[in-house]
Amino acid sequence: MTKKTALILIILLWGATRQATAQSTCDAQTFKDICIKKIPEYFVFSKSYALEKQVTEHENILTKLKAYIIIADSYRTRIEIYKDEGRGIKTMVRTGEGYVSYVAPSTGKYFIKFTFDESDENNQFCGAAVLAFLR
């Protein structure tokens, strides 16, 4: 193999790798828009979350006796809400697939954990979720 042939081969491989990487990027904004459209009219959008890994966790402060909903773009997304009890202790308070509603019994730090279904053969974890509260 000549140097010129090797150089052409390297350039072709590099181009194919860049194209595969560009195709595998996650367009979380599209999924966020889908979730926002699912929010009932009497709820107010609060936050959105890009879900680009199999497991993602976000910290939030929830207010006492306020009703919240969390909507993911897919029902293959498990949602778990944990209450921070302090000293590194978390208690699960609610769980669901793709949708969870919750009324916080007390103001405090809560963690929302999103987990994609492990049956995704391609390991293409891409999506979004939103948090909204009752007016």
Per-residue pLDDT of 78-131, as tens digits, reads 999 999 998 889 999 999 999 999 999 999 999 999 998 876 565 678 889 999
For the segment 35-52, what is each residue's pLDDT rounded down to a tens digit? 999 999 999 999 999 998
pTM of the shown model = 0.75
Strands 127-134 and 67-72: antiparallel
User: In this predicted structure, what is the pLDDT of residue 56?
Assistant: 92
Residue 89 falls inside a structural domain: yes
Within a domain: 79: yes
Residue 8 lies in a domain: no
* Position 57 in a domain: yes
Number of domains in the chain: 1
CA 129 vs CA 8, 15, 34, 113: distances in Å:
44, 33, 9, 11
17 lies in some domain: no
Q: Given this model, what pLDDT does residue 130 score?
A: 95
Range of the domain at 49: 26-134
CATH number at residue 89: 2.60.120.1050
> What pLDDT is recorded for position 134?
94
Residue 21 counted as domain residue: no
